[in-house]
Amino acid sequence: MPLLTADDPLPGRPRRIVVAGTSGSGKTTLARAVGERLGLPHVEIDALFHGPGWVPRPTFEDDVHRFVAGPAWVTEWQYGPVRDLVAGRAQLLVWLDLSRPRVMHQVVRRTLRRRLRREVLWNGNVEASLWTIFTDPEHIVRWAWSTHASTRTRVLALVEQRPELVVVRLSHRAAVRRWVAGPLAALAARP
């Protein structure tokens, strides 16, 4: 199946949807919106992964196995140990293929907001000091920069591996808005 664009109608009504993109691209925001529009439960995969003190939760993989076995869900496509499992059960993949400058703008802005407001994230965690951008090679801003190209590689490999999987590629914010207002809204209006 060819990659669909923001304007292409969706075939069928998928019940298991995954949103792919670089860290900071808006995966969780879009996944939440898709879940709300289609009446599907959104499982925020970061909340399953991060325990207190940013330590990975020991039940992470079991939790993912449990929810992907269900009939309906929307989640984000990340975390190597479960990426194949999630993709293997998905009926639709929405790919936020945004430019590196756009992603960096979004992730820097989000990180600053979270840190300055000391927003509580998953399991009581808050963003680390802004200084850690320079000292932590896995800081989310540095991570988004260094992994930007790998998302494209993964998605294209998945398309080859699962040619039947419906994949929608959204390459800019206007395309995301058009897809939500167009094909997604049309799908939500179907019985």
pLDDT digits (tens, 9 = 90+) for 18-41: 999 999 999 999 999 999 999 999
Mean pLDDT for the stretch of residues 125-138: 88
Integer Cα distance of 85 and 82 in angstroms: 5
Query: In the prediction, which pLDDT does 130 show?
Result: 84
Query: In the prediction, which pLDDT does 129 show?
Result: 86
- Kindly tell me if the per-residue pLDDT of 191 is higher than 80: no
Query: In the prediction, which pLDDT does 167 show?
Result: 98
Query: In the prediction, which pLDDT does 131 show?
Result: 86
Query: In the prediction, which pLDDT does 148 show?
Result: 94
Residue 132: φ, ψ to 5°:
-65, -15
Three-state SS sequence of 71-112:
CCEEEECCCHHHHHHHHHHCCEEEEECCCHHHHHHHHHHHHH
What residues have CB less than 8 Å from 187, skipping those under 6 apart? 10, 13, 37, 38
Which CATH number describes the domain made up of 16-189? Answer: 3.40.50.300
- Cα 93 to Cα 87, 89, 97, 153, 163: the distances in Å are 8, 10, 12, 14, 12
- Kindly tell me if the per-residue pLDDT of 1 is higher than 80: no
Mean pLDDT for the stretch of residues 6-16: 94
Integer Cα distance of 132 and 157 in angstroms: 33
What residues are paired with 25 via a beta bridge? none
84 sits in the region (left: phi over 0; alpha: psi -120 to 50; else beta) called alpha
- Kindly tell me if the per-residue pLDDT of 110 is higher than 90: yes
Domain ranges of the chain: 16-189
pLDDT in tens, 57-108: 999 999 999 999 999 999 999 999 999 999 999 999 999 999 999 999 999 9
pLDDT in tens, 140-178: 999 999 999 999 999 999 999 999 999 999 999 999 999
Residue 68, classed as helix, strand or coil, is helix
